[in-house]
Amino acid sequence: MSEQPPSSLEMLMEAYQKGDSGAGDELFLRVSQPLHRFLSLQSGDRRHADDLLQDVWLRVHRARHTYRAGERVLPWLYAIARFVKVDAYRRRRMQQFEDPLEPIVENRIVEPAGGGQELPAMEEMLAGLPESQREVVVMLKVSGLSLEEVARATASSVGSVKQKAHRAYEKLRASLAEFAPKGGTP
């Protein structure tokens, strides 16, 4: 995203609410990349994230009248993205019961062969976290939202967000410790 004042996204959203399609286009251009990153890190599949992002923007268009002028727009957008992600997950789960069963592949962190091995990709590290913790870490560290914004986007308290983040960081630290060279001093 370009270096614009924080209020510029809010001004774009308010203009979009009033029917300015150019403001909607500009909002789309500025926010699509971070939303896509959030969705792809959550799903692990970039093509699926493309579909989810399209659904997010359709819902934003339909629900733009619910945005409250003066409020921060990013938590509102991330809340919509989160609901789209949850709905897609539910649809996939329902299809699982309707379609013939396929083998389930579990997401887990790559086991190191020994100390000093190459670190797994961020997606692999995050895949080992529970969904709620992964979601909070992505919003905080990848998307750069504040604790309050994440709390609003996930309909949680700030304390709950802090607790999920802390537990996720502990799990990530433990996973990364497996890749530290053996026999050295910490």
Tens of pLDDT along 88-104?
877 777 666 555 545 54
Would 186 be classed as within a structural domain? no
Predicted confidence at residue 67, as pLDDT, reads 92
User: Hey, is 140 helix, strand or coil?
Assistant: helix
Residues 150 and 95 in one domain: no
Would 67 be classed as within a structural domain? yes
pTM of the model: 0.55
pLDDT beyond 90 at 33: yes
Residues 86 and 146 in one domain: no
Residues 21 and 89 in one domain: yes
Q: How many domains does the chain have?
A: 2
Residues 75 and 118 in one domain: no
pLDDT band at 2 (very low <50, low <70, confident <90, very high): very low
Would 150 be classed as within a structural domain? yes
Rounded CA separation 93/152 (Å): 26
Would 185 be classed as within a structural domain? no
Q: Which of 49, 71, 102 is the endpoint of a domain?
A: 102
Domain of 166 in residue numbering reads as 114-179
Would 107 be classed as within a structural domain? no
pLDDT beyond 60 at 165: yes
Q: What is the mean pLDDT of residues 132-155?
A: 87
Residues 62 and 130 in one domain: no
Q: What is the mean pLDDT of residues 131-147?
A: 86
Predicted confidence at residue 97, as pLDDT, reads 59
Would 124 be classed as within a structural domain? yes
The CATH code of the domain that includes 119 is 1.10.10.10
Predicted confidence at residue 78, as pLDDT, reads 93
Q: How far apart are the first and last CA of the chain?
A: 38
Residues 13 and 73 in one domain: yes
The CATH code of the domain that includes 67 is 1.10.1740.10
Q: What is the mean pLDDT of residues 25-32?
A: 93
Q: Comparing 89-103, 146-160, 170-184, which segment has the lowest mean pLDDT?
A: 89-103
Residues 73 and 16 in one domain: yes
Is residue 16 within 8 A of residue 27, CB to CB? The reply is yes
Residues 95 and 29 in one domain: yes
Tell me which residue of 27, 25, 28, 34 sits closest to 7, measured CA to CA: 27
Would 128 be classed as within a structural domain? yes
Residues 77 and 122 in one domain: no
Predicted confidence at residue 112, as pLDDT, reads 47
Quick: pLDDT tens for 45-91: 778 888 999 999 999 999 999 999 889 999 999 999 999 988 887 77
Predicted confidence at residue 181, as pLDDT, reads 65
Work out the burial of residue 83: count CB atoms within 10 Å of its CB; fewer than 13 is exposed, 13-18 middle, 19 or more buried.
middle
Would 147 be classed as within a structural domain? yes
Query: What is the overall mean pLDDT for the chain?
Result: 80
Tokens of 105: 């592949």
Rounded CA separation 107/139 (Å): 20
